[in-house]
Structure 1
Amino acid sequence: MKTHKILIALLSLTITLSPLQAEDEAVRARDIGITPGVLTPGKNNAITDVAGVKVGHYTLMEGDTIRTGVTAILPHGDNLYQNKVPAAVVIGNGYGKMMGISQIMELGEIETPVVLTNTLNVPEAAAGVIEWTLAQPGNEEVRSVNAVVGETNDGHLNDIRGRHITPEMVKTAIEGARGGPVSEGAIGAGTGTVAFGWKGGIGTSSRKLPASLGGHTVGVLVQSNYGGILQMDGLPVGEALGQYYLRDHVADDKADGSIMMVIATDAPLSDRNLERLARRAMGGLARTGASLTNGSGDYVISFSTAESVRRTAERRSATSLVEDLPNGEISPLFEATIEATEEAIYNSLLMAGAEHDGKRYEEGDSGVPVLPVAEVKRLLRDRQP
């Protein structure tokens, strides 16, 4: 009888806790009614909705101090060096260590996967990109590679001085890149990041324009590691939860950090208009409450996957006509970029507690909690008329 009563008590406790557990699970923004903007996401609401784009992660989570990783974005599945894509880089605040900027700015093209990692492992990431590129069939005579590597500093949660990322890990992320749904949160390059005082991470989103506006797709992937006064689709989450920059009217470095934003589109854009597109990501970043502080590195990389604008060997060796969407038709793409960037950031925060390969981020001794999904849901309910 005593055992029976204990079982009944445990069952009652389980039933009581289940709704709370459901409230606190990792979710994407749309799962709880956060739907920024007016445009419709693509099938996976991810950067991979742009046909041909692939994403891969390598996550390094060991002991109590190693929380870092690599995220690789491939513009297409062909030989990237032989079939370069038009691209651009835009810098909001330049406190960062991105590699490969000058050649993108000079030539307006990318010839390798885009790799994201932590600040002090940029050289190792570049080595992995170079080794992978040189090993591709058709690149036997290549003697110069512009590896594109972005970073944020995950030193608050990670033993960054240990420089634990190796070129082999980078190659594993590249070779494991796939289309379809993209894992988000504390994974890959987002494993050790912090945003707005909560756990940051990898997030992604997309927008598919209707046929009347061209039918093109824009996808965004972010590595969030910055601060400010968090807003989610206009909801003052940071203020409501008592965690935000300048709360005590004291200037500090709590909003410092960085964010990498990678934009892909299938629209046939020149590198000039890809730069204009990249600038609009800053609009999406601003909507989330970013403070863009002195110690923040805010970088955007954009590229077009359209075959009609690829920099193939044939096009590089002779004068050729290249398709280019006219200026008058690009404004809807600007809106798509703003919306997708904003939502990708929300996803990076809301998915920070998700489990990957049997592991998930735990606050531990770091003092950096996961954004409380239950509280965000409550705020959303309270906002409803």
Structure 2
Amino acid sequence: MRKRMREYGLSIGNLPTGPGNAITDVEGVKVGHVTLIAGEGKLFPGKGPVRTGVTAIVPHDGNIFREKLIASCFVGNGFGKSAGLIQVMELGTLETPIILTNTLSVGIASDALVEYMLGLNEDIGVTTGTVNPVVLECNDGHLNDIRGRHVKKEHVFGAIENAGKIFETGSVGAGTGMICHGFKGGIGTASRQIEIGGRAYTVGALLLTNYGRMEDLIFSGKNVGRMLRERLRGSVREKNAVEEDRGSCIVVIATDVPLDAKGLERVAKRGILGLARTGSFMGNGSGDIALAFSTANKIDHYGEPFVNIKTLSSHSDEI
């Protein structure tokens, strides 16, 4: 694996990180990738080169359809083609793994996720309702032959099956063809440990980054993008930097803080604010979407919805 920022002695903020400084520091959360790389040179639409993939976030170890998690989301700018967000916003629950991929592969990824969930739950569509697949996307068409729709069902299955506590970041999985602030984008992650009422909790995030102009890049409050732009003036990298008013970012936040859907919506909003601190201005052609979920409570599909719910109350663990 490549070195991460803190391994170079650089850090952001004052809160301590989790052991892995990753979304998987939240107990039960796992992440897996399938990376697709083939061909090189000039684009031949429908053939290649291929620079894309799938990333799966598995929220807990059990059957998430039968044991749903409380969740919510927030759309900063809605130029996006994600699937499953309406029901998450309406019911406040998450009932499948979260799949990240490229824009034109949302359909096949959604179909694969439904097939995966049907395989685990013979009652879906027979003795109970249907399932809400959550698939989030960014457009990797600048580096990838997106028209070729090279992501297949087996790649989605593979990303879910590969999911673990330790995972790669950078140009992998869904992040393989992404660009961020004129440089290579991809998958990023971090976590922070917090204390509420004398109890320790973890908040973790995973991002699919595909946005921003080079000169807007902000690092720890400093506009390093302008300095980099000047240093790279006239270079191939500077000339090839993507400057159009487009590009997207997916933010997924996990926590073990026992929040309700409204609280998680507020957390998701802060995820979008975090993008602004790095230089994002959410242009007209940008899809900036955040989804947040809590692992603290599991909602039984066949049970009473609010039995033995953990809260932040200092008087009792459950109500």
What's the TM-score once normalised by structure 1's chain length?
A: 0.72
CA contact (8 A) 1:56 1:178 kept: yes
| Counterpart selection for 1:142 from 110, 124, 131 | 124
CA contact (8 A) 2:73 2:268 kept: yes
* Separation (CA, whole Å) in 2 of partners of 1:49 and 1:150: 22
How far 1:182 sits from its partner (Å)? Answer: 2.3
Question: What is the CA deviation profile of residues 88-139 of structure 1, one whole-angstrom value per residue up to 9, with x for unaligned ones?
Answer: 0101011001100111011000100000000000001101111111111xx1
Match of 1:119 in 2: 103
CA contact (8 A) 2:65 2:301 kept: no
Within 5 Å, which residues of 2 pair with 1:26-41? 26-41=2-17
Amino acid corresponding to residue 81 of structure 1 in structure 2 = F
Q: SS state of the match for residue 184, structure 1?
A: coil
| Counterpart selection for 2:225 from 238, 241, 251 | 238
| Counterpart selection for 1:261 from 251, 255, 263 | 251
Q: SS state of the match for residue 278, structure 1?
A: helix
CA contact (8 A) 2:208 2:249 kept: yes
Amino acid corresponding to residue 222 of structure 2 in structure 1 = L
What's the TM-score once normalised by structure 2's chain length?
A: 0.86
1:243–1:206: structure 2 CA closer, same or farther, 3 Å change rule?
farther
Amino acid corresponding to residue 124 of structure 2 in structure 1 = V
* Separation (CA, whole Å) in 1 of partners of 2:70 and 2:142: 35
Within 5 Å, which residues of 2 pair with 1:85-96? 85-96=69-80
Structure 2: runs of 5 or more not aligned: 41-48, 232-241, 314-319
Question: What is the CA deviation profile of residues 32-70 of structure 1, one whole-angstrom value per residue up to 9, with x for unaligned ones?
Answer: 233111100000000000000000000000111100000
Matching of residue 50 in structure 1 with residue 34 in structure 2:
no
Within 5 Å, which residues of 2 pair with 1:160-175? 160-175=146-161
| Counterpart selection for 1:68 from 52, 59, 78 | 52
Matching of residue 200 in structure 1 with residue 185 in structure 2:
yes
Q: SS state of the match for residue 104, structure 1?
A: helix
Amino acid corresponding to residue 105 of structure 2 in structure 1 = N
1:243–1:203: structure 2 CA closer, same or farther, 3 Å change rule?
farther
Percentage identity across aligned positions? 48
Within 5 Å, which residues of 2 pair with 1:222-237? 222-228=207-213, 229-237=216-224
Structure 1: runs of 5 or more not aligned: 1-24, 245-251, 327-385
| Counterpart selection for 1:286 from 276, 281, 288 | 276
CA contact (8 A) 1:48 1:54 kept: yes
How far 1:321 sits from its partner (Å)? Answer: 5.0
Q: SS state of the match for residue 207, structure 2?
A: strand
Match of 1:275 in 2: 265
Question: What is the CA deviation profile of residues 211-243 of structure 1, one whole-angstrom value per residue up to 9, with x for unaligned ones?
Answer: 765311000000000014101112322100117
Would you tell me which structure has more helix in proportion to its own residues? 1
* Separation (CA, whole Å) in 2 of partners of 1:321 and 1:173: 33
Q: SS state of the match for residue 240, structure 1?
A: helix
CA contact (8 A) 2:271 2:290 kept: yes
Within 5 Å, which residues of 2 pair with 1:280-319? 280-306=270-296, 309-316=297-304
1:151–1:94: structure 2 CA closer, same or farther, 3 Å change rule?
same
* Separation (CA, whole Å) in 1 of partners of 2:146 and 2:311: 43
* Separation (CA, whole Å) in 1 of partners of 2:295 and 2:222: 35
* Separation (CA, whole Å) in 2 of partners of 1:195 and 1:189: 14
* Separation (CA, whole Å) in 2 of partners of 1:105 and 1:158: 31
Q: SS state of the match for residue 229, structure 2?
A: coil
1:319–1:234: structure 2 CA closer, same or farther, 3 Å change rule?
closer
Q: SS state of the match for residue 15, structure 2?
A: coil
Q: SS state of the match for residue 215, structure 1?
A: strand
* Separation (CA, whole Å) in 2 of partners of 1:266 and 1:258: 27
Matching of residue 133 in structure 1 with residue 117 in structure 2:
yes
**Larger Cα-atom Rg:** 1
Within 5 Å, which residues of 2 pair with 1:346-357? none
